[in-house]
Structure 1
């Protein structure tokens, strides 16, 4: 089961980072309409969310939702997101298998998927074809 979780995580990481990389650096501050995050804020939310969901639902260590200021720029945004995935992988590798931990993992991945879908819309709004989906 843990091998399957790690495969799912690897696919989610690879695809999410490829979606992030597809946006040119000059468009990281783009947002398709008022009232939504910029692309870099969206990626930061995904990265912070990975850590928050992991902490609360995989490691079962309650913490408040208190995100730091969003990273800015393509390089910093992708690095932040990558580090979040690296930390999640370590937690999955070390987690004690339980229904609650597995449910927490899938809740985390669901959150990533939800916002990654938004990121692909941002790409389309700039006329960029998103990378092919990886599963």
Structure 2
């Protein structure tokens, strides 16, 4: 049986810490930044990571099919970081029993967090040092 308090907890904590460091690195006034037209802003990208945590946990860890219906994206640094923290707390306390679903969720976080580091570089900001 998969229990979040097992050996995977350090993986979750590393993902949380690094994601929040990336979120903190962007100045509040640049949360609207888009590297190109037609793509998410930095805030929208991080909000997608947060919503993705909720959705992947429900669909893949608890295996309860849920509709993809994200709420309106947060727009401020403070609200976006609060939403990310809430999502990571939810994942940590998940009763989900599917370890493969956990890894899929972490993979989704990593994929989009990598994009967020490029947004930082486009603003001349060196991303935080990657932790693993």
TM-score using structure 1 length? 0.92
SS of equivalent residue, structure 1 residue 55: helix
**Count of aligned pairs between the two proteins:** 129
Gaps of at least 5 residues in structure 2 are none
Q: Which runs of 4+ in 1 moved over 4 A?
A: none
- How much does 1:35 deviate? 1.5
Cα displacement string for residues 31-79 of structure 1 (whole angstroms, at most 9, x for unaligned residues): 0001210000000000000000000010111101000100110000000
**Are the equivalent residues in 1 in contact too, given 2:22–2:128 (CA < 8 A)?**
yes
Aligned-residue CA RMSD (Å): 1.1
Q: Judging by fraction of residues, say which structure has more helix.
A: 1
Q: Is 1:68 aligned to 2:71, yes or no? A: yes
Q: In the aligned structure 2, how far is the partner of 1:64 from the partner of 1:34?
A: 28
Which residue does the alignment assign to 1:130? Answer: 127
1:1-135 correspondence runs (5 A): 2=4, 3-91=6-94, 94-96=95-97, 101-135=98-132
- Give unmatched runs, 5+ long, in structure 1: none
